[in-house]
Structure 1
Amino acid sequence: MQHLQVRLRALGVATYAISGSPLHADRALARHDRIRFPIIQDRTFAIGRDYGVYGGQRMPMDAHAIIVVNAQGRIILAAEPTDMHVPRATIWRAAQHAGGR
């Protein structure tokens, strides 16, 4: 996601990571991967449940989801990759659609 930040901002799309990991682990990951967007702590996984990812259950520490939501709150993309990878082109197309372009 970090690689798409300039292009996403140009579309008016904001990026946030939502994590149930301990704060110290998220900070270490952000430093290691040079993540420059906010990481929101969600230790109860309530946000994921609200968006219908992880089956509403506790997320395994090595899993993630990518959700693109438009300004009206409609989900454009919800991907729970098993291999920790969603193609950038897929995210980009969803972001363009969410931004109305």
Structure 2
Amino acid sequence: MDKQTILDVLNNLEVVDQQGGDEAWMLVDVTPEMIEELDHVGVEKETVLKYGDDESVCILALAFGEKYANFWHKGQLVNWPQEAVDLIEEMESALRS
């Protein structure tokens, strides 16, 4: 299972509802095509449905919960070395100060 391939699929799903901030979520509709795409890259239906129900799932919870992603950058779920994430967070914090 290649994390980047999984993230490519997740990043290309159509988000139907979302909220940012401390309690962020991004919902996508559960469709046979979505389940098939994720299954094709190694994410089983049971894993997907742990993060929602038969109608919609939260791809943020899925990506972070299953450790496919460790950061959200410029509208994309990413998995970067921790040093890079720390550096970006440091820079963003300095800019807010």
| TM-score relative to the length of structure 2 | 0.31
Larger radius of gyration: 2
The structure in which a higher percent of residues are helix is 2
| TM-score relative to the length of structure 1 | 0.31
